Amino acid sequence: MHEIVYFESPGFAEVSRFCLELSGLEWKNTVVDWDGYMQLKEKGDLPWGYLPIIRSPDGIVAESNALLRYTGALAGLEPEDLFIRAKVDELVEVINGWREAFIPTFSIEDLDEKIAARQALFVEDGKMDRALKAISHVFEQSTTGWLANTESMSIADIKAFMDTFMMFSGQFDGVTADMLANYPSLLAFHEKMSNEPKVKKYYDNDDKARWVFRPDAFLDIGDSQHI
């Protein structure tokens, strides 16, 4: 039995929650609030002091990308070929690196300043604009339709899908869904991923925090290159 422990939000755990679901193994989704987090920390259950963690039959694993690779492997999503696997990891790391641009905005207390700082990331040639255009290009260049040019969905697709569209859920002041109009290929990627039968089934519910992962989430945005 595997247990993921994290806050309620999709945040850094969503990719691994989804991979565990795909794995078909029995797993438990344990949601904690801040007090629960502090208790785990005081108990010494968090190897590096942060969530998410997975409790596996062999012990605790921390760090969201380690969790993604572990649960991705359990789900059979990790390529056997080591070069292809490295190319998948390359994308996973690049996407993780987006946090460096985004996370400093969390500590800005003044709301107008916070909004302005985030919007600056998405204006033409801003850090996130460049990042989203770069990942769009990767998608456009793929001959298989999967980001890392794999034969089937890899953890890079899951990471890109969840980390990209979570930003536009409305939970981050200053980042709005209409900004996606600048990235038509990403909208096509969204259409592909959200309609994948396993993704579609997982999000076929009323969970308001996860609307961005459903097929109809951005249908009215911009001039998407729907596939």
Q: Which is nearer to ligand GSH, 17 or 192 (CB)?
A: 17
Instruction: Write out the residues near ligand GSH by the rule CB under 6 A.
Output: 11-12, 50-51, 63-64
Q: How far is the CB of 160 from ligand GSH (least distance, A)?
A: 16
Q: How far is the CB of 95 from ligand GSH (least distance, A)?
A: 12
How many other C-beta atoms can be found within 10 angstroms of the C-beta atom of residue 11?
A: 16
Q: Which of 187, 189, 91 is nearest to 139 (CA)?
A: 189
Q: Which is nearer to ligand GSH, 12 or 168 (CB)?
A: 12
Q: How far is the CB of 125 from ligand GSH (least distance, A)?
A: 27
Rounded Cα distance between 49 and 210, Å, is 26
Q: Which is nearer to ligand GSH, 164 or 194 (CB)?
A: 164
Which residues neighbour 85 within 8 Å (Cβ) at sequence distance 6 or greater?
Answer: 78, 79
Q: Which is nearer to ligand GSH, 16 or 224 (CB)?
A: 16
With contact defined as beta carbons under 8 Å apart, do 72 and 36 qualify? no
Q: How far is the CB of 59 from ligand GSH (least distance, A)?
A: 16
Q: How far is the CB of 143 from ligand GSH (least distance, A)?
A: 31
With contact defined as beta carbons under 8 Å apart, do 172 and 108 qualify? no
How many other C-beta atoms can be found within 10 angstroms of the C-beta atom of residue 17?
A: 19
With contact defined as beta carbons under 8 Å apart, do 164 and 132 qualify? yes
According to the 3-state scheme, what is the secondary structure of 184-226?
HHHHHHHHHHHCCHHHHHHCCCCCHHHHHHCCCCCCCCCCCCC
Q: Which is nearer to ligand GSH, 60 or 84 (CB)?
A: 60
With contact defined as beta carbons under 8 Å apart, do 190 and 161 qualify? yes
Q: Which is nearer to ligand GSH, 63 or 191 (CB)?
A: 63
Q: How far is the CB of 73 from ligand GSH (least distance, A)?
A: 17
